[in-house]
Structure 1
Amino acid sequence: MLEQRAESTLRGVRILNKWIALLVGAILFACAALVLMDITLRQIGSSFGGTDEITGYVMAVSTAWGMSFALTELSHVRIDFLRSLAPQKGRALLDIIALLLLAITVSIIAKQCWPVVATSLKNSSTANTPLETPLALVQIPWFAGWLWFAISSWLIFVSALALIVKGKFNRTEQTIGIANAEEEWL
């Protein structure tokens, strides 16, 4: 039962993160199209203006949301010198420790993001730019991305820990290990 629940949670987080990645990719594509149109307009003496500001916001938000997808795809960078020398149980232990530390760190970051958003909401803060963008419009999805990354990290951690407890070290490695270079190119 525990193993099935862990597998179900992992599958759900992975599917949700794939949909989020597709949405973020579409937003990045739209942002690139906006920049391309602005560059084209500049050639004829006009401009939308503010594309640099908009793309900066899009990058911050898409990065916050994209990190959770990178986690489910085993794309986070890790120094694996010691890990590669360890037996399967040792690798699982190192992987779960790395995931625990990641979940703690991301939770702290998400917690520290909220006061930034709360202050912008309280003060109705706007960017000190010609667009005068209400900062909360950008900071709320940015904060939500960090929060989702923290939630995903903890869900994956608990699920991976359940697999380790059940002795499913091979499945744990597939879930929270690192992708090798051959797998990434296939």
Structure 2
Amino acid sequence: MAQSILSLLRRLNRWVALAIGLVLFLCAIFVLLDVGLRKLGASFGGTDEISGYVMAIVTSWGMGYALLELAHVRIDILRGRVGALGRSLFDLFAMLTMAGTVTLIALRCWPVLDRSIANMSRANTPLETPLWLVQGPWFAGWVWFAIVSWLTFLAALMLVAKGEFSQSEAAIGAFGEEEAVL
């Protein structure tokens, strides 16, 4: 059960990663075209604003992928000095903390989006972008990250409860510099 949850999350997040990669690629082309147009004395305008929105959205969506790829930074000074059970408990504590923090962030993002919708807020820029257009996908990315975090925590908890410490470590462990170099 735990491995099927992790496999499903990895498959879904690969699609998310491909989608955000495509969005970043399109954003880069947009910026490059605008730079080229500036050489000709014209401009689309707003490329800095749009690229900032894109970065906020793809960052929130990319966090779930980074979690499953063990790409988040962790300080593991104590973790390496204990056995498999101790490492698993440190990993579970780290995942619980991550899931709780991300959930709190997602919950605090909702009032921002809700207020923008209620007030029909627009960016204070020449584009006057309706903020809900940006904050909606941004909020959804944080919610996705929270869901991925909790499901990953539960899957790892199931693995630890069954004594499958190496599989738990493969799912949520931290790897020191020595291991990353090899």
Q: Helix, strand or coil for the counterpart of 2:78?
A: helix
* Aligned mates of 2:141, 2:147 — CA distance in 1: 10
**1:100 to 2:96 alignment:** yes
* Aligned mates of 1:112, 1:159 — CA distance in 2: 26
Letter in 2 for 1:101: T
Match of 1:50 among 46, 51, 61: 46
2:164 maps to which residue?
168
Letter in 1 for 2:147: I
* Unaligned segments of structure 1, at least 5 residues: none
Shift of 1:179: 3.8
Q: Deviations over 1:125-181 (max 9, x none)?
A: 110001010000000000000000000000000010000000000000000002455
Match of 1:87 among 79, 83, 90: 83
TM-score after normalising by structure 1: 0.95
Question: Quick check: 2:76–2:176 contact (8 Å CA) kept in 1?
Answer: no
2:173 maps to which residue?
177
1:157/1:61 Cα in 2 relative to 1: closer, same or farther (>3 Å)? same
* Unaligned segments of structure 2, at least 5 residues: none
* Aligned mates of 2:175, 2:24 — CA distance in 1: 25
2:23 maps to which residue?
27
Letter in 1 for 2:71: S
* Aligned mates of 1:91, 1:113 — CA distance in 2: 33
1:140-179 equivalence runs, <5 A: 140-179=136-175
2:135 maps to which residue?
139
Question: Quick check: 1:75–1:179 contact (8 Å CA) kept in 2?
Answer: no
* Aligned mates of 1:65, 1:92 — CA distance in 2: 27
Letter in 2 for 1:131: L
1:74 maps to which residue?
70
1:75/1:136 Cα in 2 relative to 1: closer, same or farther (>3 Å)? same
Match of 1:18 among 14, 28, 40: 14
2:34 maps to which residue?
38
